Amino acid sequence: MTPMSYADALAYIHRINWEFCKPGLERVGELCEKLGNPQDRLCFVHVAGTNGKGSFCAMLASVLQAAGYKTGLYTSPYIVRFNERMMIDGNMIGDDELAQLTSEVQPVADAMAEPPTEFELITAIAFLWFARHGCRIVVLECGMGGRLDATNLIRTPLLSVITGIALDHTKYLGNTVEAIAGEKAGIIKHGVPVLYGGSDSAAAAVIAQKAAESGSAFYRTDLEKICVRDMSLDGTVFSFDGYDNLFLPLLGDYQPQNAANVLMAVEILRKEHFLISDDAVRNGVSSTVWHARFECLARDPIVIADGAHNPQGIAAAVRSIRRYFGENKVLMLGGVMADKDHKDMVAALAPVCREMFAVRPDNPRAMDPAAYAVEFLRAGVSASSYPTVQEGVFAAMRRAQEQKCPLVCLGSLYQYAAVSAAVDAFLGVCQTK
């Protein structure tokens, strides 16, 4: 069989709409079994949660790499390039290798009575890649949920982590915090330690009960021990439970909590005989790279990109806006998925928003930007809509320059690539004038 090209591989992976497939682990289980169960040759930290799991995964992978371990990282969605979804020691999978692995998986998947979904295909490909490269440990992020997520095929991880619980994907996971916590807690395995890093007590109770039923040690991060020493657009200095003055380059009011969860995870992994020095912790945390989480894209004018896309994430973004910019309102640009609680999101954003520039994220589920702008107008905020992200960014950045006001871009991770490119293009135009 002729190997696929990179473009052919992506087209093949993206061909199935997961929403029309019955949830379950049967398809991915059958696929991985026929591929030799590569996941059984790997050690995992398995991570679920509504918000914060991507930042947590990036930080923990950076710490493990700094400690000298060959570390795989599996996350979703990607921000700029598909290949970002699977990395080893900070390097994403190459185009040729992705194409080769997809070529191997295709005949196996096509021979199945019920073909795997996109996410199941990607997960199987990632397992193959990590196993063939001999990763010592893989930080594995759930896609959505936990119990029926394709990543939950793994048998016995070193540690199960649930970063935090909030209402999101209620159509699939349930419409209460307790129900969603139950789905996320589905990643807990018998005898495997569990870390809960969120603040919701109702969710904590559900997860603790599941851990007890599974004979698993239950740990909860004491968020009261976090002490933020300094927070600016240059980064954050904080202390937590014996670690003093750690530097974290990731911005956002919520990142010290994610970092504290990483420090808790490190303590648990040390009990599993992983040698992780305090220097590795400091170096790993301080060198973490993770985009679209209150990321500063420009300084003149100030442009922030944040992937907040649900009420909890939006609330965290609002706290960050107030933390960095005080009581001053900011300009905003963004769009949302039509199936999100956009009215609640608008209500939360309106008090800190001077003007909204509505655009359409690159996703078929995206809300019409004109309709999104109307929501802000109803909330008493000046708003306009734009047919492309670039037009919206250019208009917003011109206003930011005129008013000497920060611009915050948020509402969806799917708009980050276009926003980042448009910001660079605008700055390039400014430099040539």
Residue 313 belongs to a domain with what CATH number?
3.90.190.20
Residue 161 belongs to a domain with what CATH number?
3.40.1190.10
Written as six digits, the tokens of 430 are: 């400014």
**261 and 322 both lie in a single domain:** no
Indicate the SS3 state at residue 368.
coil
**11 and 121 both lie in a single domain:** yes
* Helix and strand counts by DSSP (H, E) for the chain: 15, 17
Domain boundary among 286, 313, 336: 286
**181 and 222 both lie in a single domain:** yes
Q: Domain limits at 309? A: 295-432
Domain boundary among 286, 318, 348: 286
Domain boundary among 269, 286, 303: 286
Q: What is the 3-state secondary structure (H, E, C) of 154-219?
A: CCCCCEEEECCCCCCCHHHHCCCHHHHHHHHHHHCCCCCCEEECCCCHHHHHHHHHHHHHCCCCEE
**279 and 132 both lie in a single domain:** yes
Longest dimension (CA), the chain: 66
**Residue type at 429 in one-letter notation:** V
Q: What is the pLDDT along the chain (433 residues), one digit of tens a residue?
A: 677 999 999 999 998 765 556 788 999 999 999 999 999 999 999 999 888 899 999 999 999 999 999 999 999 888 889 999 999 999 999 999 999 999 999 999 999 999 999 999 999 999 999 999 999 999 999 987 788 899 999 999 999 999 987 655 444 454 577 888 888 999 999 999 999 999 888 889 999 999 999 999 999 999 999 999 999 999 999 999 999 999 999 999 889 999 999 999 999 999 999 999 999 999 999 999 999 889 999 999 999 999 887 777 888 899 999 999 999 999 999 998 887 777 888 999 999 999 999 999 887 888 999 999 999 999 999 999 999 999 999 999 999 999 999 999 998 888 899 999 999 999 988 877 6
Written as six digits, the tokens of 363 are: 């996703």
In a domain, 1, yes or no: no
Rg of the Cα trace of the chain? 21
Q: How far apart are CA 304 and CA 321, in angstroms?
A: 10
pTM of this prediction?
0.91
Q: Please report where in the chains the tokens 């655009």 appear, as a residue.
A: 359
Domain count, the chain: 2
**214 and 185 both lie in a single domain:** yes
Half-sphere exposure of 158 (CA within 13 A, CB side): 20
